[in-house]
Amino acid sequence: MRIVVVAVGRLKQGPERELGERYRKRAVQSGRALGWRDVEVIEIRESRAQDAERRMIEESIAIANVIPEGAVTVLLDERGESLDSAAFAAQLQAWRGENRDAIAFVIGGADGLAPSLRQRAALRLAFGAATWPHQLARIMLLEQLYRAATILGGHPYHRA
């Protein structure tokens, strides 16, 4: 199973990028035994359109173009469902059990996502009620992917 994180915006060189890459690599290593082929991050350029609606549409089109065919689509959304780490891991395992080829996690831009993209979502995932900067949301997602792999693999990283 391929895991793709599609995010609007770039992480600049520095501690945030390094931390995100550390969790991504750990998720790849821990996930191999679970049948995860890769954890890939695709960065989408922020639209420069003057109008917020146009920016949202342009970014949503760019996102839709990189989501793998037939992938389960998960949107990070502050109004989404809050799952604890064990439930998140169980959901990943369930999709793996359904022989899904890919899961695409989408982190939209500041103007949100087009309704057509939101309708494709199998899950809208929230990291609590707070609004998080896109960079932190990406790092938190990568950490949760690593944590899910350790939960499913029986590694002691997750102690709950």
- Give the pLDDT of residue 20: 96
Q: Is residue 25 part of a domain?
A: yes
The pLDDT tens digits for 88-128 are 999 999 999 999 999 999 999 999 999 999 999 999 999 98
Average pLDDT of span 43-70: 96
- Residue 149 pLDDT > 70, yes or no? yes
Non-local (6+) Cβ contacts of 66 within 8 A are 4, 6, 42, 44
On the CB side of 61, CA atoms within 13 Å amount to: 6
Q: Which domain holds residue 102?
A: 2-153
- Give the pLDDT of residue 96: 94
- Residue 157 pLDDT > 90, yes or no? no
- Give the pLDDT of residue 158: 74
Q: Is residue 112 part of a domain?
A: yes
Taking alpha carbons only, the member of 59, 151, 160, 147 closest to residue 109 is: 59
- Residue 160 pLDDT > 80, yes or no? no
Q: How far is CA 35 from CA 43, 58, 86, 90, 92, in A?
A: 24, 34, 18, 14, 11
Average pLDDT of span 135-152: 96
- Give the pLDDT of residue 159: 72
- Residue 45 pLDDT > 90, yes or no? yes
Q: Is residue 115 part of a domain?
A: yes
Quote the pTM value: 0.94
Question: Any idea what the CATH number is for the domain that residue 46 is in?
Answer: 3.40.1280.10
Provide the mean pLDDT of the chain.
94
121 and 73 Cβ atoms separated by less than 8 Å? yes
Q: Is residue 159 part of a domain?
A: no
Q: How many domains is the chain partitioned into structurally? A: 1
